[in-house]
Amino acid sequence: MSAHYSGKRVVVGRQPAVMYSMVSDLRNIVKGLPEDKRAGVTATEDTVTFSVQGFNVGVRVLERTPFSRVVIGQGDGSPVNFNIAACFDTVDFPDNPDIDCQTGFHLEMDVELPGMLKMMLGGKMQSFLDEVTDMIARSLA
């Protein structure tokens, strides 16, 4: 059973090209993790693998649309079919040219969960996306 979730939108004080460059290379995402969360995580530009309860799980870049969207989805060992899109758009302030270009940023997730799992986890997906959005925004501040 497929479900779609959209995370909250935040504004980050970086240009979309900078945001895109940071998120489109998965090595940068791993660099942004707290030190204690990096153990056992391996990253390339296109993939990240990590261990969860003894299982190796991977994610990989599925799509890159320069300066506006990066889609990351299931890789080797992932037990759930999913994708997460990082979406960027320019936020201009025409009434105040002194403010530099900023970027609107949000996450979207499509995930296929069996009925019982969807009932158990469905409400937590929104919180997960919002927490990840906040973490990314803080790391770019």
Confirm if 84 and 94 have CB atoms less than 8 A apart.
no
Reported as a single tens digit per residue, the pLDDT across 49-102 is 988 777 788 899 999 999 999 999 988 777 778 899 999 988 876 666 666 678
> Is there a contact between 10 and 129 (Cβ–Cβ < 8 Å)?
no
| Residue 93 confidence (pLDDT) | 66
- Tokens standing for 47? 């993939």
30-52 pLDDT per residue, tens: 887 778 878 888 899 999 998 87
Cα 141 to Cα 14, 46, 58, 92, 103, distances in angstroms = 8, 24, 28, 18, 12
Mean pLDDT of the chain: 84
Q: Which CATH superfamily is domain 2-140 in?
A: START domain (3.30.530.20)
Between 16-24 and 115-140, two packed helices, what is the crossing angle to 10 degrees? Answer: 120
User: How confident is the model at residue 77, as a pLDDT?
Assistant: 74
For residue 1, name the pLDDT band (cuts at 50, 70, 90): low
Question: Do 48 and 41 contact (CB within 8 A), yes or no?
Answer: yes
Please give the DSSP secondary-structure letter assigned to residue 35: G
Q: Indicate whether this model's pTM tops 0.85.
A: no
Domain residue extents for the chain: 2-140
Cα dihedral angle (46, 84, 108, 28), rounded to 10 degrees?
-40
